[in-house]
Structure 1
Amino acid sequence: MDIPVVCDMTNAPDTPQERLEEYQRLFSQALAAKERTPEGIRFRFRAAPGVEAWVRDLAAREQACCAFFGFDVTLDGAEVVWDATVIDDAAARAVLEEFYLLPETGTTDVLVR
């Protein structure tokens, strides 16, 4: 089955700008580290009250608009771990790279389609 490399926020409860602002709030409040994995990327967040639910909700909304992503959110001790992978496609890998850089850039074409 071919999965299109498209992010469609048509039915999202938030706008692309609101989503970016939410990412920036999450990163500024709770991001502990990020790393590349053999399968994709990983964000590590401090497991402060509410962070796990926040990350899970955000990952679910991302999955709803970007089907080519795979997300896994787990609790690992004092951290919430968000793993992200994409289908085997050059365009999808480029979007994953933009996602990885989001904490530094604050912007991405991923969320504005």
Structure 2
Amino acid sequence: MTTKDLGWVPDACTLPTAERPLRLIEFDELFATALRGQQRIAKTNLRWRLHPGAEETARELAGRESACCSFFTFTFSTDGKDLLLDVTVPGAHVDVLDALAARSASGMPA
């Protein structure tokens, strides 16, 4: 992973630059092991369907991401089968959500 891969990370992110590739790896691992599907609910809202066994990991990761990128809102719910994680951003950060959606889609199992 190069700094070019992180070009979509906004200036509003306070995570130290050296830690950003590690955070992306954590998200990639979550996508590869637990992501069952995703749906774009609205321009500013993305919903991930996760394996319910990943709840603790997903909550911990979302909490740390909210701490450094305060523009993200992560909301957890369930549909009785899957863990649902809604990711919402303000309109000014739709490009970040677009990049995250593309990254998660590329990491989903076939």
- Could you list the structure 1 runs, at least 4 aligned residues long, displaced by more than 6 angstroms after superposition: none
1:3-82 map, 5 Å: 6-10=12-16, 15-38=19-42, 39-48=44-53, 51-82=54-85
CA distance in 2, matches of 1:46, 1:53: 11
Aligned alpha-carbon RMSD (Å): 2.1
CA distance in 1, matches of 2:46, 2:11: 17
Indicate conservation of the 8 Å contact 2:37/2:50, yes or no: yes
How many pairs were matched up?
96
Report deviation, 1:78: 2.2
Indicate conservation of the 8 Å contact 1:55/1:73, yes or no: no
What is the TM-score when the length of structure 1 is the normalising length?
0.75
Please state which structure has a larger fraction of its residues in helix: 2
Determine the structure 1 residue equivalent to 2:5.
Answer: none
Q: Percent identity?
A: 33
CA distance in 2, matches of 1:69, 1:88: 11
Report deviation, 1:63: 0.6
CA distance in 1, matches of 2:70, 2:11: 8
What is the TM-score when the length of structure 2 is the normalising length?
0.76
Indicate conservation of the 8 Å contact 2:13/2:69, yes or no: yes
Structure 1: which 5+ runs fail to align? 107-113
- Residue deviations 1:69-108, cap 9 Å, x none? 111122331211110111132xx011111111112456xx
